[in-house]
Structure 1
Amino acid sequence: MAIVQALLALIAACIGFALLARRARLPYAVVLVLGGMALAFIPGVPQVELDPEIALAFFLPPLLQASAYRTDWPAFKGSLRPILFLAVGAVLFTALVVAVVAKGLIPGLPWAAAIALGAIVAPPDAVAAAAVLQRLRLPRRLVVVLEGESLINDASALVLYRFAVAATLAGAFSIAEAGLSFVLLSIGGAAIGWAIGRGAVIAIRRLDDTLLETAASFIACFASFFAAEFIHVSGVIAVVATGLVLGRAQHRFSARTRRDSRTVWEFIEFVLNSLVFILIGLQLNEILGRMQDQPAWHLALLAIAVSAALIAARFVWIFPAVGAEWLIDRARLRDGPPRWREATVVSWAGMRGVVSLAAALALPLNFPERDIIVYLAFCAILATLVLQGTTLEWVIRRLGVEEKRRPGMGVDEAAARTLIAHASLREMERRAEDILAGVIAQDLLPEYRDRVRLLDGINQGAIAAERAARLELRLHALRAGRARLLRHRREDGVDEELMARLTEELDLEELRLRRLMGVAEG
Structure 2
Amino acid sequence: MPIVQALLALIAACIGFALLARRARLPYAVVLVLGGMVLAFIPGAPKVELDPDLALAFFLPPLLMASAYRTDWRAFTGNIRPILFLALGAVLFTAVCVALAALMVIPWLPFSAAIALGAIVAPPDAVAAGAVLHRLRLPKGIVAVLEGESLINDASALVLYRLAVAATLASAYSWAEAGFTFIALAIGGAMIGWLLGRGAILAIRRLEDTLLETAMSFIACFASYFAAEFVHVSGVIAVVVTGLVLGRAQHALSARTRREARVVWQFIEFVLNSLVFILIGLQLNEILGRMDHYGVWQLASCALVVSAALIVSRFIWVFPASLTPRLVPALARFGSARPWSHTVIIAWCGMRGVVSLAAALALPVTFPERDLIVFLAFCAILATLVMQGTTLEWLIKRLGVEEKRKPGMGIDEATARTLIAHAALREMERRAEDVLSGAMAQDLLPEYRDRVRLLDGISQGPIVAERTARLEHRLHALRAARARLLRHRAEDGVEEELMNRLTEELDLEELRLRRLLGATDA
TM-score range (shorter-chain normalised) is over 0.9
Matched, 1:180 2:154: no
Q: 1:47-446 to 2 correspondence within 5 Å?
A: 47-326=47-326, 339-446=339-446
Partners of 1:348 and 1:392 within 8 A in 2? yes
Per-residue CA deviation, residues 129-155 of structure 1 (Å, 9 max, x unaligned), is: 434432232211111111111110111
- Cα distance in 1 for partners of 2:176, 2:126 equals 27
- 1:112/1:25 Cα in 2 relative to 1: closer, same or farther (>3 Å)? same
What letter is aligned with 1:35? G
- 1:485/1:388 Cα in 2 relative to 1: closer, same or farther (>3 Å)? same
2:516 counterpart residue number: 516
- Identify the range of structure 1 (504-513 vs 72-81) with the bigger mean alpha-carbon deviation: 72-81
| 1:466 positional shift | 0.7
What letter is aligned with 1:368? P
| 1:328 positional shift | 5.4
Partners of 2:322 and 2:338 within 8 A in 1? no
What letter is aligned with 1:455? L
1:43 counterpart residue number: 43
What letter is aligned with 2:25? R
- Cα distance in 2 for partners of 1:496, 1:321 equals 60
Per-residue CA deviation, residues 249-275 of structure 1 (Å, 9 max, x unaligned), is: 111100000111111111101110100
- 1:298/1:520 Cα in 2 relative to 1: closer, same or farther (>3 Å)? farther
SS of the residue corresponding to residue 249 of structure 2 reads helix
% identical aligned pairs:
77
- 1:62/1:263 Cα in 2 relative to 1: closer, same or farther (>3 Å)? same
Per-residue CA deviation, residues 328-374 of structure 1 (Å, 9 max, x unaligned), is: 569x99xx996211111110001111010011000011111111100
Partners of 1:409 and 1:517 within 8 A in 2? no
| 1:214 positional shift | 0.6
Partners of 1:88 and 1:153 within 8 A in 2? yes
| 1:127 positional shift | 3.5
Partners of 2:14 and 2:278 within 8 A in 1? yes
| 1:128 positional shift | 3.5
Partners of 1:11 and 1:271 within 8 A in 2? yes
- Cα distance in 1 for partners of 2:87, 2:236 equals 13
- Cα distance in 1 for partners of 2:285, 2:344 equals 34
Per-residue CA deviation, residues 298-323 of structure 1 (Å, 9 max, x unaligned), is: 21111111001000000001112224
- Cα distance in 1 for partners of 2:466, 2:133 equals 36
| 1:437 positional shift | 1.8
TM normalised by structure 1 equals 0.96
- Cα distance in 1 for partners of 2:133, 2:460 equals 34
Partners of 1:204 and 1:216 within 8 A in 2? yes
| 1:44 positional shift | 1.0
| 1:163 positional shift | 1.3
5+ residue gaps, structure 2, are none
- Cα distance in 1 for partners of 2:221, 2:107 equals 42
What letter is aligned with 2:239? V
Per-residue CA deviation, residues 407-465 of structure 1 (Å, 9 max, x unaligned), is: 44222111110010001111111111222221111111110010000000000011111
2:477 counterpart residue number: 477
- Cα distance in 1 for partners of 2:46, 2:408 equals 50
| 1:296 positional shift | 1.3
What letter is aligned with 2:484? R
- Cα distance in 1 for partners of 2:173, 2:458 equals 63
- Cα distance in 1 for partners of 2:207, 2:270 equals 27
SS of the residue corresponding to residue 36 of structure 1 reads helix
- Identify the range of structure 1 (483-492 vs 192-201) with the bigger mean alpha-carbon deviation: 483-492
- Cα distance in 2 for partners of 1:350, 1:104 equals 23
| 1:79 positional shift | 1.3
- 1:25/1:520 Cα in 2 relative to 1: closer, same or farther (>3 Å)? farther
| 1:112 positional shift | 0.7
What letter is aligned with 2:188? G
Q: 1:12-27 to 2 correspondence within 5 Å?
A: 12-27=12-27
Partners of 2:30 and 2:128 within 8 A in 1? no
- Cα distance in 2 for partners of 1:10, 1:59 equals 15
Partners of 1:408 and 1:517 within 8 A in 2? no
| 1:247 positional shift | 0.6
- Identify the range of structure 1 (373-382 vs 184-193) with the bigger mean alpha-carbon deviation: 184-193
Partners of 1:164 and 1:173 within 8 A in 2? no
| 1:199 positional shift | 1.1
- 1:246/1:451 Cα in 2 relative to 1: closer, same or farther (>3 Å)? same
SS of the residue corresponding to residue 404 of structure 2 reads coil
Aligned residues: 518
Partners of 1:188 and 1:233 within 8 A in 2? yes
Per-residue CA deviation, residues 195-233 of structure 1 (Å, 9 max, x unaligned), is: 111111111111111111111111110010001111111
SS of the residue corresponding to residue 42 of structure 2 reads coil
- 1:120/1:62 Cα in 2 relative to 1: closer, same or farther (>3 Å)? same
| 1:494 positional shift | 1.7
